[in-house]
Amino acid sequence: MLELRNLSVAISAVQILREVSLAVPDGAMIGLIGRNGAGKTTLMKTLMGLLKATSGSVQLDGRDLLAAPTHARVRLGIGYMPEDRRLIPDLTVEENVLVPAWAARLADARERLERVYELIPEMRAGPLPTWAHCCRVHLLPGLPSATFTAIRFSGAAASRTSIMLHSRKTSG
């Protein structure tokens, strides 16, 4: 279970989150919906350790998450898919999928990649209908947004996440 109690976060002198409390039971799927600037991405970045909380607590299965460094949070089962297209163009698709596992120094990265191939067989077979490449070749410019999302999702899945944080812009 993920549990936030009175979590507050400021960026510079601006208070973004004020005493946020939330409990997410194991197996639950939730969505945070709000206007731009409401703090959704700030919350996710704080959960990943990219921003520091000014007060409050975050527990993951009884562990103090705020005390864990960012790289350790991947080992604890947290995956983060930011809203941007943050991939490494000099790496192949497969290498981009493996980056989160490599960053967390997971010894079984190849086995985790095989799990991704079980979940998304098109990743191995390539090319997906909207993809202009295969997994073992470098990224091509102009790929659709859904392709970037699939690659980032695959990277998080390769880390065997129990919590997936996905920040996605919507319009309308």
Per-residue pLDDT band for 142 (boundaries 50, 70, 90) equals low
- Put simply, whether the predicted model's pTM sits higher than 0.75 gets the answer no
**Beta strands across the sheet bearing 14-24:** 14-24, 2-11, 55-60, 63-64
β-pair partners for 60: 2, 63
Determine what percent of the chain is predicted with pLDDT higher than 90.
24
**What does the pLDDT average to over 28-52?**
88
Q: Indicate the pairing of strand 78-81 with strand 163-166.
A: parallel
**Locate tokens 């390539």: which residue?**
126
Neighbours of 9 (CB within 10 A): 21
What is the pLDDT at residue 137?
Answer: 55
- Higher model confidence: residue 117 or residue 43? 43
**What does the pLDDT average to over 138-149?**
66
Per-residue pLDDT band for 129 (boundaries 50, 70, 90) equals very low
What is the pLDDT at residue 132?
Answer: 36
* Cα–Cα distance for residue pair 131/129, rounded to 1 Å: 6
Domains, in order of start, for the chain = 2-68 (3.40.50.300), 93-166 (no CATH)
17, 6 contact by CB (below 8 A): no
Determine what percent of the chain is predicted with pLDDT higher than 70.
76
Tell me how far apart the terminal alpha carbons of the chain are, to the nearest angstrom: 32
Q: What is the mean pLDDT of the chain?
A: 79
SS3 166: strand
The yes-or-no verdict on residue 63 having pLDDT over 50 is yes
What is the pLDDT at residue 72?
Answer: 83
44, 15 contact by CB (below 8 A): no
